[in-house]
Amino acid sequence: DDIWTVVDEHHLEGTYPFEDFRDALEFTYDVGELAEDEWHHPDIHLEWGEVTIEMWTHKIDGLHKTDFVMAARMDRIHEEYAPE
């Protein structure tokens, strides 16, 4: 996985590429639905052709297994948008 990095031993940050704004928007919505389902809410930065996620577990102000599970699920969602 070359999307995610651990920043300051505190949070995950990952940037997903997209072909255009529309795909980035739909992915953002998908991630938002996942966040609501799991009640685990990342920050999501949407711009043309790119979505950047910042995620950590607020209760412990750091990283928990949940964050890595969520990251893997976002990777799988992103595969649906892959240009190849």
Binding site for a copy of itself (CB under 8 A): 21-22, 25, 28-29, 32-33, 35-36, 41, 43-48
Q: Residue 72 carries which side chain, given as an amino acid letter?
A: A
**82 Cβ contact partners less than 8 Å away, ≥ 6 residues apart:** none
b/e burial code for range 15-24 (CB count within 10 A of at least 16 → b): ebebeeeebb
Name the residue nearer to a copy of itself (CB basis): 8 or 84.
Answer: 8
Nearest distance from residue 26's CB to a copy of itself, in Å?
9
Name the residue nearer to a copy of itself (CB basis): 58 or 65.
Answer: 58
Name the residue nearer to a copy of itself (CB basis): 19 or 36.
Answer: 36
